[in-house]
Amino acid sequence: MWALRVVIVFVAAIVLAVGAFFFLAWRSEIPEDAAAAEATFAPELVAKGAQLAALGNCIACHTVPGKPAFAGGLAVPTPFGTIYSTNITPDRETGIGGWSEEAFQRAMNEGVDRRGSHLYPAFPYDHFTRVSAEDNRALYAFLMTRPAVKAEAPRNDLQFPLTYRPLLAAWKLAFFDRGELEPDSSQSEAWTRGRYLAEGLGHCGACHTPRNALGAEDRDHYFGGGEAEGWQAYAINKDSKAPIPWDEQSLAFYLRNGWHEFHGVSRGPMAEVTGNLSALPDSDIMAIATYVTSIMGDPTPERGQRAAQLREQFEGDYREQTADSQSSPVNASGGSPGEAIYVAACASCHEGQRRQPFGGLNFELSTAVNAPNPQNIVNVVLFGLPPADGEASAVMPAFRHLLSDQQVADVLAYMRERFSEEQPWAGLVELIANTRSGAHRVTIRPSDGIERAPHNVGAEEG
Amino acid sequence: MAILLTVNGSPHEVDIDPATPLLYVLRDELALNGAKYGCGLGQCGSCTVVVDGEAVLSCMVPVMLLEGREITTVEGLGTIDKPGPLQQAFIEVQAAQCGYCVPGMMMSAHALLRRNARPSDAEIREALATNLCRCGTHMRILAAIRRAGELMQAASLPRPDEGRAG
Ligand code: FES
Ligand code: FES
């Protein structure tokens, strides 16, 4: 009798737990809206939505380079397997053509699709939940007026049990903080606007904040540096390694133009971000800079001092263009093999007198050389910076056909030693070999001004 | 310092500072003037040559990195009497205005056609993105490269008279 009672209680507990879980996980289907794709919207609303979509960088994940915009199908590698982005054009069958605005608002707010399935957080709804209903309405208007494209995304390639979407409810319970941010009355209007843009649609933290083992952003290391598409997204909090610390002006300039004299050009996935941000008004760019630099905080006195020296060295019109690559501006002291290569192959641009963005950045100013992980320099040395299509842009030739893994490692070791106070990088040769072979997958994109669709000559799937 | 370079199949020993970019060695030491000096800054592509099958900017590459590598310049694609398919195509289509960019264009195209005999226009444009032409002959350059692809394919097919008796 006693044993039976235990079993009954036990079974009841399980049933209750499972029931509670399903109750928690269950989301209703929002009926298909047959007229959604034909709806018309005020042109101002659509224009505003276009700006917001650029801020959200939606096109980056929801477009395969060279294929129609927003039609999805891009493979997004995650530690848990590959997720394919969805078609967000208003195609009724394969896109969001049957989605009412309510369904769209819910997807942004809660990470749930029209049918009621939980979405994987590769879609950064942990940020998009901060977006106002009004802005979501504009985004919806913009997307629903794009050309409808019939394109079915490939099936996600995830490890079991992650294929079972109700599990995401548990993830959300642990990590998802839903809803708009509370206003902070101690802060300026620009800061508040900047936080709204950066935290919400801008989703800066999705790349710049490290993630925990379950793929959620580690809020204790907010903006502490993360990874995106095989590139390091640098720390943009107090741990920023920029030799001349960012300030509002320089960051706003960089976000506006895709480069800054003291910081170099944006590249990798960030090139897309700065390219897209060109759709935003100056006031919004400035607001993002205000917010992000407030997170970085004031530099320590030592950093400040070093920065003052560097400014003196690199500011103003000291720079005149040198003749060419035949005469290296520096001499090798006969030291390491890396030095010999650096002096012959790198210095003519990187210590030449051409200004950003067309000259190479002097490594005294480089965040990359000071970064804890050398991945970004490895990417750029091996694959270069391809030119943007049909406009002047920064370029760098690729050296993968010219330098062996060991030679790249030698050059990097020399640069680290000469231009940084940080510890030498470990495991260089292996990292370089994995990057070259594609075992570590890197996306290579033109250096700026890009729009990945419909034509994006120069963008290469790495 | 003596450096051993293999250019268009022939070995050359040159006595030179190993930091010297290949372009200057080709032009000044080996009298191979096909590769052109445009900017000397890795920005224009007129100095493009092929190293082990890949297009590289010879103004940017110190010769110390090239020992034991197979270097091909535009002179290696054919001669005046016997132009190679790329050269023949450029002549047929009259793809040059001043012609300064053309050797670089041909070498980038050569590297492309080696790995892809029938490139799309988008692929050609991508492969030649680092080659600038100030005269604006781009449309003809595209046509010439398409034509070269055809010529190469035709050359690799058996000729109509081949295998016929007597
Ligand atoms: S001369 Fe080499 S790229 Fe211009
Ligand atoms: S033909 Fe004159 S630069 Fe191209």
* Ligand 2 pocket member B37 (CB < 6 A): no
pLDDT tens for each residue of B97-155: 999 999 999 999 999 999 998 999 988 998 999 999 999 999 999 999 999 999 998 88
Closest residue of A to B61, CA-based? A345
| Nearest by Cα to B47 from B28, B69, B67, B68 | B28
Average pLDDT value for chain A: 89
HSE at residue A244, side-chain half, CA atoms within 13 A, is 24
Burial of A346 (0-12, 13-18, 19+ CB in 10 A): buried
Mean pLDDT of A262-275: 91
Write down the pLDDT at residue A324. 64
Torsion on CA atoms A45, A46, A50, A52, rounded to nearest 10:
30
Domain ranges of chain B: 2-76, 85-156
Distance CA B49, CA B147 (A): 21
The CATH number of the domain covering residues in B2-76: 3.10.20.30
pTM for the model stands at 0.90
Run of H or E including A61: helix A58-61
Mean pLDDT of A428-432: 97
Write down the pLDDT at residue A318. 53
A106 vs A5, more confident: A106
A155 secondary structure, DSSP code: P
Distance CA B9, CA A192 (A): 66
Distance B46 CA to ligand 2 centre (A): 9
Confidence of residue A462 (pLDDT cuts 50, 70, 90): very low
Q: Percent of chain A, pLDDT > 90? A: 69
pLDDT tens for each residue of A315-329: 865 555 555 666 666
pLDDT tens for each residue of B30-49: 999 999 999 998 889 999 99
Lowest mean pLDDT among A4-13, B23-32, B105-114: A4-13
Domain ranges of chain A: 28-175, 189-296
Domain B85-156 in this protein, CATH class: mainly alpha
Contact A262, A251 (CB under 8 A): no
Look at the block and give the residue holding tokens 């707010």. Answer: A109
Using the predicted structure, report yes or no on whether residue A267 has a pLDDT greater than 80. yes
Pocket test for ligand 2, best of B94, B137, B140 (most atoms within 8 A of CB): B137
Using the predicted structure, report yes or no on whether residue B162 has a pLDDT greater than 90. no
Distance CA B101, CA B137 (A): 10
Reduce the secondary structure of A71-114 to three states and give it as a string: CCCCEEEECCEEEECCCCCCCCCCCCCCCCHHHHHHHHHHCECC
Q: In this complex, do B19 and A395 lie within 8 Å of one another by their Cβ atoms?
A: no
Helix A43-56 to helix A133-144 angle (10° resolution) is 100
Domain A189-296 in this protein, CATH class: mainly alpha
Residue type, A244: I
Contact A66, A456 (CB under 8 A): yes
Confidence of residue A456 (pLDDT cuts 50, 70, 90): very low
Residue B17 tokens read as 């500072």
pLDDT tens for each residue of A107-121: 999 999 999 999 999
Write down the pLDDT at residue A26. 81
> In this structure, are strands B2-7 and B10-15 parallel, antiparallel, or unpaired?
antiparallel
Average pLDDT value for chain B: 93
* Ligand 1 pocket member B46 (CB < 6 A): yes
Lowest mean pLDDT among A44-53, A71-80, A370-379, B134-143: A71-80
Distance A345 CA to ligand 1 centre (A): 13
Distance CA B122, CA B135 (A): 21
The residue whose CA is least distant from atom 4 of ligand 2 is B133
Interface test with B, best of A331, A401, A444 (most B CBs within 10 A): A401
* Ligand 2 pocket member B132 (CB < 6 A): no
pLDDT tens for each residue of A22-42: 777 788 899 999 888 888 999
A66, A387, A397 member nearest B60 (Cβ)? A397
Q: In this complex, do A324 and B59 lie within 8 Å of one another by their Cβ atoms?
A: yes
| Nearest by Cα to A198 from A106, A279, A293, A105 | A293
Distance CA A173, CA A354 (A): 53
Lowest mean pLDDT among A26-30, A39-43, A244-248, A305-309: A26-30
Using the predicted structure, report yes or no on whether residue A461 has a pLDDT greater than 50. no
Distance CA B92, CA B83 (A): 11
